[in-house]
Every structure is written in structure tokens, then in C-alpha cells.
Amino acid sequence: MKKIAVFTSGGDSPGMNACIRAVVRTAIYHNIQVVGIMHGYDGMINDEFIPLDAKSVANIIHRGGTILKTARSQEFLTIEGRTKAAKNLTKHGIGGVIVIGGDGSFKGALQFSKECDIPFVGCPGTIDNDLIGTDFTIGYDTAINTVVEAVDKIRDTAESHNRLFFVEVMGRDAGLIALRSGIAVGAEAILIPETKTNVDELINKLESGRKNKSSKIILVAEGDDAGGAFAIAEKVKAALPYYDTRVSILGHVQRGGSPTAMERVNASRMGFAAVEALMEDKKNVMIGIVDKQIQLTPFENAVKHIQELNPHLMKMVDILSL
């Protein structure tokens, strides 16, 4: 292994830069050249390759986003696009590739690796924490801390006006952002895709709850089956008109910001391990951290999942919101 490439793909997440930094400096330590591919798979197709050295990744560990930029490539889904990408990797003498992204990025890498016989190793970069093979994905810890900070501020104004706030967070297929941040902010209810939302039960809970509470917060994942925060809030408002009801959509603010200390450490560990995996002739595997230990999971298994959430956490939400 004389030369490797690294790129970021799909949605950006805080901690990607820390992972890039670890990849570059670990490779250089082992006398391996590194190039960065700009704009994900699109950059691989369009020959957007740039050399990276230790100085290239100085002072980026604390920055959100990704210095290599990212994209979702439609052209890479075609055999013509992947053929162009393979020619560019060969032209640059790339012996292995590290991709930082989610399950779509890994599926693309798996298909591509089979066609061009270049080993790929993945690092899980997604704020949703919805990949099998790791306890935490790169970006998740920062995202939930961002939500907690925002909701704490929302609660300040909610208490000032005795308001009921529905706060919608990201999570189209998985509600792990809503679940952990909801516990952390003391939400009255957490509505997520993994469980069926019964609006009537929510209304009954709000109606029978303590009327003297100065504020109430409901966390809603965007993929909740009841239609999202605005739709649920309208139904609750119609049934309980005495509540001063408001809706706040946090949106893409959850993707940005300086990564937390835990994020930087985990991302650095994953980037470090990814280089070592390529050196050990591993291919088509995702680097994860399970029970604080590095674990390699085949791309076929490291897919987006709708996991069964810990029932004790859900029970705790109900009890602590009394």
C-alpha cells in the first residue's frame, strides 16, 4: 500500500474533519501517500483529486462540516460513472480508499470495489446513528448536544409564557436523535418512527398531566408516522385550545457546529483504524466502536437499520415526565 485516497460522501456531520486528519497523519506515519477526493463520488468521477500532507489537515479537528466537501452523486449510480471513477483511481495510483459516510456511501463502495478490485474501508459519518456495527456514528454526539442546547433555550421562552412547544428534529428513518436528546431535556413525550404515535393518547396525557407546569416540550422526529410536528401540534391545539402551542423546526442546524470532545476522539480512532485496516489487506468493511473497542463490520451488514429501541429508555421517558 503506497498511496490511498480519502473522501466524504452523503450528508455532512461534525467530526468528519477529525477523521480526515487522523487518516492523513496515520498514513504519513506509515510512509503512505494520501490524496483527498473533493465532492464525494462526483469528485472521483470528475478527477477532483488533491494531495494531502500533515500541514493540509492542521487546525481542522475542531471544525464542523468537511474540508473535502460532500455530495450525493447520481452519476455514480450508473456503470458509466463508476467506469470513469475507476479510471481516475488507476491514473492516480490509488491502492485503497477510505470513505467517510453513511449506508448509501457504503453500498456504492461495495458495488464499485467488486467492479474495479480496489479495497474500500468505511468510517460511519452520519448524525442519525443508524448504522449497524458501531455504538456511535461520527456526528451523532454533537448533533444531540446541539439539540439539547437549542431546546434548553426554547424552554426558557416556553416557561416565560407557559407554552407547549413541539420541537422537530432530524430522523427520517430513525429516532435516536429525538430519543436521547429528549431524555436529556426532560421532554414530556418523544415521538419517533420506531414506535406508532397515537395522538389521542398524547392529548390524554397532556390533559391529565400537571396543569401547573410552566412549560411542556414534545420532541418529534421528522419521520414520525403522525405527520411531523406541525400536523401533530394542530391536532393537539384543536383538542386542547387552552394550551399556548408553538412549533420549532431545528432543521440543518443539527448538522453544523464544532464537534464535541467525544466526537473528536471517536472520529480520530476510526480514521486511525481505517488506515491500519487497509494495511492489513481488509476490504469492504466499516470501522466501528462497540463497547469502546474497534470493530470491523462488512459493508453488507453495516446498513441503515430501524432498530428496536431499548424499552427501558422508553419507559423511563414516561415515568420521568410525570
Q: What angle do CA 292, 176, 317 make, to 5 degrees?
A: 105
Could you say which of 128, 130, 141, 224 is catalytic?
128
Joined grid coordinates for residue 64: 464542523
Report phi then psi at 179, rounded to 5: -65, -55
Cα separation, 17 vs 6, in Å, equals: 11
Joined grid coordinates for residue 294: 474497534
Compute how many other C-beta atoms are within 10 angstroms of the C-beta atom of residue 317.
Answer: 18
Task: List C-alpha distances in Å: 199 to 180, 189, 203, 261.
Answer: 21, 11, 6, 38
128 flagged as catalytic = yes
Cα separation, 259 vs 41, in Å, equals: 24
Cα separation, 203 vs 76, in Å, equals: 47
Cα separation, 132 vs 286, in Å, equals: 10
Q: What angle do CA 102, 2, 72 make, to 5 degrees?
A: 25
Catalytic positions: 128
